[in-house]
Amino acid sequence: MNPATTRTQVAIVGAGPAGLLLSHLLAARGIDSVVLETRSQEYVGARIRAGILEQSSVDLLTEVGLGERLAREGDQHRGIYLQFPHERHHIDFQSLIGRSVYVYGQTEVQKDLVEARTAAGQQWVYEISDVALHDLDTDRPSVTYVDADGAPQRLEADAIAGCDGSFGPSRAAIPGGTTWERTYPYSWFGILADVAPSTDELIYAWHPHGFALHSMRSETVSRLYLQVEPGTDPDSWSDDRIWDELATRLGHGQDGWELEPGPITDKSVLPMRSYVHAPMSHGRLFLAGDAAHIVPPTGAKGLNLAIADVALLAPALAELVGTGDARLADAYSDTALRRVWRCTHFSWWMTTMLHHSGDAFDEQLQLSQLRWVTSSEAGATGLAENYAGLPFEI
Q: Which of 104, 145, 186, 204 is catalytic?
A: 204
Q: Give me the mean pLDDT over the 367-384 stretch.
A: 97
| Type of residue at 177 | G
**Is it the case that residue 323 has pLDDT exceeding 90?**
yes
Which pLDDT score is estimated for 374? 98
Which pLDDT score is estimated for 393? 72
Q: Give me the mean pLDDT over the 256-278 stretch.
A: 96
Computed from CA positions of residues 102, 108, 109, 112, in that sequence, does the dihedral angle turn out positive or negative? Answer: negative
Mapped onto helix, strand or coil, the DSSP state of residue 192 is strand
The pLDDT confidence band at residue 104, using thresholds 50, 70 and 90, is: very high
131 touches 36 (CB < 8 A): yes
Which pLDDT score is estimated for 188? 96
Of the listed ranges 36-45, 177-186, 288-297, 368-377, the least confidently predicted one is: 36-45
Sheet holding 293-294, edge to edge: 87-92, 79-84, 202-205, 212-216, 222-228, 178-193, 264-278, 293-294
Percent of the chain with pLDDT over 70: 98
- The counts of H helices and E strands in the chain are 12, 21
373-378-384 Cα angle (round to 5):
70
Q: Which of 141, 197, 261, 297 is catalytic?
A: 297
Cα distance between residue 145 and residue 153, in whole Å: 5
**Domain range summary for the chain, segments of one domain joined by +:** 4-180+273-352
| Type of residue at 347 | S
Q: Does the annotation mark 77 as catalytic?
A: yes
**Is it the case that residue 339 has pLDDT exceeding 90?**
yes
Which pLDDT score is estimated for 76? 94
The pLDDT confidence band at residue 49, using thresholds 50, 70 and 90, is: low
Q: Which of 214, 277, 301, 355 is catalytic?
A: 301
Of the listed ranges 42-56, 134-148, 298-312, the least confidently predicted one is: 42-56
| Beta-carbon contacts of residue 4 (< 8 Å; ≥ 6 apart) | 151, 152, 153, 154
DSSP state of 252: T
| Type of residue at 300 | A
Q: Give the residue among 201, 223, 196, 257 at the shortest CA–CA distance from 78.
A: 201
Helix, strand, coil percent values for the chain (each to nearest 5): 40, 30, 30
Cα distance between residue 9 and residue 156, in whole Å: 8
**Is it the case that residue 394 has pLDDT exceeding 70?**
no
Which pLDDT score is estimated for 392? 73
Q: Does the annotation mark 104 as catalytic?
A: no
| Beta-carbon contacts of residue 371 (< 8 Å; ≥ 6 apart) | none
Q: Give me the mean pLDDT over the 22-32 stretch.
A: 98
Averaged confidence pLDDT in the chain: 95
Which pLDDT score is estimated for 46? 74
Q: Does the annotation mark 43 as catalytic?
A: no
32 touches 122 (CB < 8 A): no
The pLDDT confidence band at residue 48, using thresholds 50, 70 and 90, is: low
**Is it the case that residue 346 has pLDDT exceeding 70?**
yes
**Is it the case that residue 272 has pLDDT exceeding 90?**
yes
Q: Which of 24, 77, 282, 355 is catalytic?
A: 77
Phi, psi of 295, deg, nearest 5: -125, 155
Strand 264-278 to strand 293-294: parallel, antiparallel, or no bridges (unpaired)?
antiparallel
Count other C-beta atoms under 10 Å from residue 192's C-beta: 18
The pLDDT confidence band at residue 42, using thresholds 50, 70 and 90, is: confident
Q: Give me the mean pLDDT over the 121-131 stretch.
A: 97
Overall fold of domain 4-180+273-352:
FAD/NAD(P)-binding domain (3.50.50)
Report pLDDT digits (tens) over 64-81. 999 999 999 999 999 999
Which pLDDT score is estimated for 337? 98
Which pLDDT score is estimated for 293? 97
Report pLDDT digits (tens) over 284-300. 999 999 999 999 999 99
